[in-house]
Structure 1
Amino acid sequence: MSAPRIAVVVKGYPRLSETFVAQELLALEARGLPLAIWSLRRPTERDRHPMHARIAAPVAYLPEYLHEAPLRVLAGLGQALRRPRLPRLLGLFLRDLARDPSASRLRRLGQALVLARELPGSVAHIHVHFLHTPASVARYAALLTGRGWSFSAHAKDIWTTPDWELREKLADAAWGVTCTRDGLRRLEALAQPPRALPSVPPEGGGPPPRLALAYHGLDLARFPAPPPPRPPRDGTDPADPLRLLCVGRMVAKKGHDDLLDALATLPAGLHWRLALIGGGEIRAATEARAAALGLADRVAFRGALAQPAVIAAMREADLFVLPTKPAPGGDRDGLPNVLMEAASQDLPILATAFAGTPEFIASGTHGLLVPPGDPAALAGALARLARDPDLRRRLAGAARARLVADFALDPGIDLIAARLAASAGLEPVREAAARPAGACACAS
Structure 2
Amino acid sequence: MSENIKPGSVSSLSYVNPVPGSPWDTYLSQVDRVMPYLGSLARWGETLKRPKRALVVDVPIELDDGSIAHFEGYRVQHNLSRGPGKGGVRFHPDVTLEEVMALSAWMTVKCAAVNLPYGGAKGGVRVEPKQLSKKELERLTRRYTSEIGIIIGPHSDIPAPDVNTNAEIMAWMMDTYSINSGATATGVVTGKPIHLGGSLGRVKATGRGVFVTGREAARRIGLDLQSARVAVQGFGNVGSVAAELFAEAGARVVAVQDHTGTLINEQGFDMPRLIAFAKSEGGIANFKEGQRCDNEEFWNVKADILIPAALEGQLTAARANRVNAKLVLEGANGPTVPQADDILAERGVLVVPDVICNAGGVTVSYFEWVQDFSSFFWTEDEINQRLDRIMVGALNHIWEKADQHRISLRTATYAVACERILMAREERGLYP
Q: TM-score, normalised by structure 2?
A: 0.33
Q: TM-score, normalised by structure 1?
A: 0.33
Which structure's CA Rg is the greater one?
A: 1
Bigger helix share: 2
